[in-house]
C-alpha cells in the first residue's frame, strides 16, 4: 500500500535517513522502532510530504539545505514530490510527534478542523466514532485544547487525524511521555481503529514493548538505517532485539 | 455624553481600519503594510465606478470589494508568496507595493479635495442633544455586524475553521490536508476585502485623500500592537481603548494631538507589555 525505496535524507551534510526501504500492506499495523535521533520522525515527515514542504521553505529562506533521494509509492503511484496537502487528500495522514493539537481551540473545534477534507456526513460519522473509542473526549468537548492533559491531547490528536479520513495513518510516537495506563488505552484503541475502520497504520515508538503486541510487522532503525525487520514473532525471538528494545 | 457617542463611533472606525490587517497577520503571520494603500485604492475604485462608469451605489460597492479582494490575492500570489516566512522581506515588499499604489494614484492625478463619496443616507438624528448623522450610525451598525459575521465565519464554516487551525500551527494544518498557500491567499483576499469595506464605509465622512493611506496603516498597526498581534479580540478591545483615548484628547487637549495618541500607545505598549494586551509570546514554546 505504502512503499518507500532507497530513501535518503540529508540535513546539510548530516545523514538522517540512510537508504531505508520500508513497505506496508493494507490493513497491517507496522511498527518502526528506534532510539532518539534514529530517524523515526524524519521518516514520518518524508512519507507524508511534510519534509518536502520544509525543504521548499528552507530553500526559499536560504536556510538549511535538505536533500531527499529515493522514491515513495502510495498504491503504486509515486508521491515523492507531491504536495503534502495532495498527499493528505489521497489518504496519508500524519499524527505528529508531540501531538501539535490546536491549543487555542476547543476539542470540538480541533476535530472540526481535522475534518477539513471530510464531507459533512463523513465528518459527523467519524466524530461519533471518535467519541465512541475515546469517551473521555466527549466529556471535554468544550474544553480548550491547551488545558488537556498529555493523554487527552494524544487522544484528540489521533481523533483529529481520523477526521481527515485517512486510508493510512502515520502515528509518530503516540505514547511519548504518557503513563503506562494511558499507554495501554491508546494501544488498545489503535488496534480497535484498525479493525473497525480497515485502516493501515504505521506507528513509531522508542520503546517497543507496549506496542509490539499489536504490530504485524516491524522495522528497527539505528542511526538512520533500517538494521532489522521482520514479523512480530521473528523480532520477539531475536535475542539482540529482546535485550535492546524490550528490556527482557 | 458626546464623548461616549463619538468615542464609540471613533472606536468602531479604528476597529474597521485594523480588522483586515489583524486578520491577515493572525492567519498567515504576514504584516501587510500595503493595507493602507488598498484602503485608498478601493476608495478610488468606488469613485471611478460611480462617476466614470455611472453604476448605482450598491453594485459599485460590491464590485469594489470583489476587485480589491482579487488585487490582494494577486499581490500575494505573485509577490509575497516568494518571501513567505521572512518577516523583514515581507514588511519591505508589502510596504513597497503600498508605496507604489499610493504614489501612482497621486501620479495619475487622484489627489486634492475633489474626490468624495456620497453618504449612504443623508441627514442626522439627535441622540440626547448631540446631533449624529445617519451615516455614522450605519458605520457603527455595519461594524458590529462585520465583527459578528467574522466570528461566525471563523467558528462555524469549514474554511474559517481551517484558517484558525493554520493560524495556530501551520504545519499541523498541513498534515490535515489544509493547503497553507491557498489559505494564505484566501486570508489576504479577505483582509483586502475588509480594507475595501472600511474605505467604502468611512470615506463618505470626508474627502478621498491619498495621504490617508499612511494614516490608516499607522492606526491599524497601533491597534494591532496594543491589542496583541494576531489576536482579534485584542484588536477590537484596543480599538475601543485608543478610540476613546483619541476623543478624550481631542476634547481636552486639541484635535491635532489625535495621531500622537496612537503612536504613544504603540511606544507604551512596546515598553510595558511588548506582546500586547491579548497577545501571546509563542516563541518560547516553539523552542522547546
The pLDDT tens digits along chain B (288 residues) read 788 999 999 999 999 999 999 999 988 889 999 999 999 999 999 999 999 999 999 999 999 999 999 999 999 999 998 888 788 999 999 999 999 999 999 998 777 667 888 888 888 888 878 888 899 999 999 999 999 999 999 999 999 999 999 989 999 999 999 998 999 999 999 999 999 999 999 999 888 888 889 999 999 999 999 998 878 889 999 999 999 999 999 999 988 888 899 999 999 999 988 888 887 655 444 433
Does the CB of A103 have a partner CB in chain B at under 8 Å?
A: yes
For A11, the grid coordinates are 540535513
- Residue of chain A whose Cα is closest to the Cα of B174: A85
> Using 50, 70 and 90 to split pLDDT, how confident is the model at A247?
low
Query: Cβ–Cβ of A48/B172 closer than 8 Å?
Result: no
Residues of B in contact with A105 (CB under 8 A): 164-165, 168
Q: What pLDDT, in 10s, does the model give residues A42-51? A: 999 999 999 9
Task: Please give the Cα distance from A231 to B122 (Å, whole number).
Answer: 81
Which helix H or strand E contains B56, and what residues bound it? none
Please report, for residues A14, A46, B12, the alpha-carbon distance to residue A37 in angstroms, rounded to integers and kept in the order given: 12, 15, 53
Return the residue in B90, B177, B183, B232 with the most chain A beta carbons within 10 A, the one to mutate for interface testing: B177
Residue B125, SS3 per DSSP = strand
Does the CB of A61 have a partner CB in chain B at under 8 Å?
A: yes
pLDDT at B285: 44
Task: Name the CATH superfamily, with its identifier, for domain A23-39+90-246.
Answer: P-loop containing nucleotide triphosphate hydrolases (3.40.50.300)
Task: Please give the Cα distance from B53 to B67 (Å, whole number).
Answer: 15
What's chain A's Rg over C-alpha atoms? 18
- 3-state SS track over chain A: CEEEEEEEEEECCEEEEEEEEEEECCCCEEEEEECCCCCHHHHHHHHCCHHHHHHHHHHHHCCCCEEEEEEEEECCEECCCCCHHHHHHHCEEEECCCCCCCCCCEHHHHHHHHHHHCCHHHHHHHHHHHHHHCHHHHHCCCCEHHHCCHHHHHHHHHHHHHHCCCCEEEEECCCCCCCHHHHHHHHHHHHHHHHHHCCEEEEEECCCCCCHHHCCEEEEEECCEEEEEEEHHHHHCCHHHHHHHHCC
Show Cβ contacts of residue B268 under 8 Å, excluding neighbours closer than 6 positions.
none
Counting one residue from chain A and one from chain B, the pairs whose CB atoms sit within 8 A come to: 81
Task: Please give the Cα distance from B140 to B5 (Å, whole number).
Answer: 10
Classify the complex by whether its ipTM is higher than 0.90, answering yes or no: yes
Pick from B198, B147, B215: nearest CA to B42: B198
Which helix H or strand E contains B162, and what residues bound it? helix B158-168
CB B155 within 8 A of CB A109: yes
Task: Please give the Cα distance from A140 to A133 (Å, whole number).
Answer: 14
Q: What pLDDT, in 10s, does the model give residues A162-179? A: 999 999 999 999 999 999
Does the CB of A31 have a partner CB in chain B at under 8 Å?
A: no
Question: Is the confidence at residue A7, as pLDDT, over 50?
Answer: yes
Query: Cβ–Cβ of A113/B161 closer than 8 Å?
Result: yes
Return the residue in A82, A91, A113 with the most chain B beta carbons within 10 A, the one to mutate for interface testing: A113
Residue B160, SS3 per DSSP = helix
Cβ neighbours of A91 (radius 10 Å):
20
Return the residue in A116, A127, A153, A176 with the most chain B beta carbons within 10 A, the one to mutate for interface testing: A116
Sketch the domain layout of chain A as residue ranges. Answer: 23-39+90-246
Task: Please give the Cα distance from B70 to B66 (Å, whole number).
Answer: 6
CB A190 within 8 A of CB A214: yes
Does the CB of B287 have a partner CB in chain A at under 8 Å?
A: no
Amino acid at each position: 500500500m505504502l512503499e518507500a525505496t532507497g530513501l535518503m535524507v540529508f540535513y546539510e551534510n548530516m545523514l538522517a535517513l540512510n537508504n531505508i526501504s520500508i513497505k506496508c500492506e493494507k490493513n497491517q499495523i507496522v511498527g518502526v522502532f528506534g532510539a532518539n535521533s534514529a530517524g523515526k520522525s524524519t521518516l514520518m515527515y518524508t512519507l507524508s510530504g511534510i519534509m518536502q514542504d520544509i525543504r521548499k521553505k528552507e530553500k526559499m529562506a536560504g536556510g538549511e539545505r535538505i536533500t531527499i533521494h529515493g522514491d515513495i509509492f502510495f498504491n503504486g503511484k509515486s508521491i515523492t514530490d507531491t504536495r503534502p496537502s495532495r498527499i493528505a487528500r489521497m489518504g496519508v495522514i500524519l499524527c505528529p510527534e508531540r501531538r501539535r493539537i490546536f491549543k487555542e481551540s476547543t476539542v470540538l473545534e480541533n476535530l472540526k478542523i481535522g475534518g477539513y477534507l471530510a464531507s459533512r456526513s463523513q465528518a459527523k460519522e467519524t466524530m461519533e466514532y471518535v467519541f465512541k473509542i475515546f469517551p473521555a473526549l466527549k466529556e471535554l468537548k468544550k474544553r480548550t485544547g491547551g488545558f488537556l492533559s498529555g493523554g487527552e491531547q494524544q487522544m484528540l490528536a489521533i481523533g483529529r487525524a481520523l477526521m481527515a479520513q485517512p486510508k493510512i495513518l502515520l502515528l509518530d510516537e503516540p505514547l511519548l511521555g504518557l503513563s503506562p495506563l494511558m499507554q495501554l488505552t491508546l494501544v488498545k484503541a489503535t488496534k480497535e481503529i484498525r479493525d473497525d475502520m480497515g485502516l493501515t497504520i504505521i506507528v513509531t515508538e522508542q520503546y517497543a514493548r507496549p506496542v509490539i503486541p499489536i504490530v504485524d510487522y516491524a522495522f528497527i532503525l539505528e542511526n538512520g538505517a533500517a538494521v532489522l525487520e521482520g514479523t512480530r514473532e521473528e523480532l520477539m525471538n531475536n535475542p539482540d532485539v529482546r535485550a535492546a528494545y524490550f528490556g527482557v | 455624553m458626546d464623548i461616549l457617542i463619538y468615542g464609540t463611533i471613533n472606536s468602531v472606525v479604528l476597529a474597521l481600519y485594523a480588522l483586515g490587517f489583524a486578520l491577515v497577520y493572525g492567519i498567515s503571520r504576514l504584516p501587510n503594510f500595503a493595507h493602507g494603500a488598498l484602503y485608498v485604492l478601493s476608495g478610488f475604485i468606488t469613485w471611478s465606478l460611480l462617476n466614470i462608469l455611472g453604476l448605482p451605489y450598491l453594485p459599485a460597492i460590491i464590485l469594489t470589494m470583489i476587485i480589491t479582494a482579487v488585487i490582494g490575492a494577486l499581490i500575494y500570489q505573485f509577490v509575497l508568496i516568494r518571501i513567505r516566512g521572512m518577516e523583514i522581506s515581507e514588511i519591505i515588499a508589502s510596504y513597497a507595493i503600498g508605496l507604489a499604489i499610493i504614489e501612482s494614484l497621486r501620479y495619475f492625478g487622484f489627489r486634492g479635495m475633489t474626490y468624495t463619496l456620497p453618504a449612504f443616507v443623508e441627514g442626522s438624528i439627535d441622540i440626547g442633544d448631540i446631533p449624529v448623522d445617519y451615516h455614522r450610525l450605519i458605520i457603527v451598525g455595519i461594524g458590529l455586524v462585520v465583527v459578528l459575521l467574522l466570528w461566525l465565519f471563523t467558528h462555524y464554516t469549514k474554511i474559517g475553521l481551517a484558517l484558525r487551525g493554520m493560524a495556530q500551527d501551520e504545519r499541523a494544518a498541513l498534515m490535515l490536508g489544509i493547503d497553507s498557500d491557498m489559505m494564505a491567499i484566501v486570508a489576504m483576499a479577505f483582509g483586502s476585502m475588509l480594507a475595501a469595506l472600511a474605505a467604502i464605509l468611512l470615506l463618505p465622512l470626508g474627502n478621498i485623500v491619498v495621504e490617508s493611506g499612511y494614516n490608516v496603516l499607522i492606526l491599524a498597526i497601533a491597534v494591532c500592537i496594543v491589542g496583541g498581534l494576531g489576536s482579534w479580540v485584542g484588536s477590537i478591545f484596543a480599538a475601543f481603548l485608543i478610540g476613546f483615548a483619541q476623543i478624550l484628547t481631542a476634547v481636552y487637549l486639541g484635535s491635532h494631538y489625535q495621531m500622537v495618541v496612537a503612536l504613544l500607545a504603540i511606544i507604551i505598549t512596546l515598553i510595558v507589555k511588548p506582546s500586547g494586551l491579548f497577545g501571546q509570546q509563542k516563541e518560547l514554546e516553539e523552542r522547546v
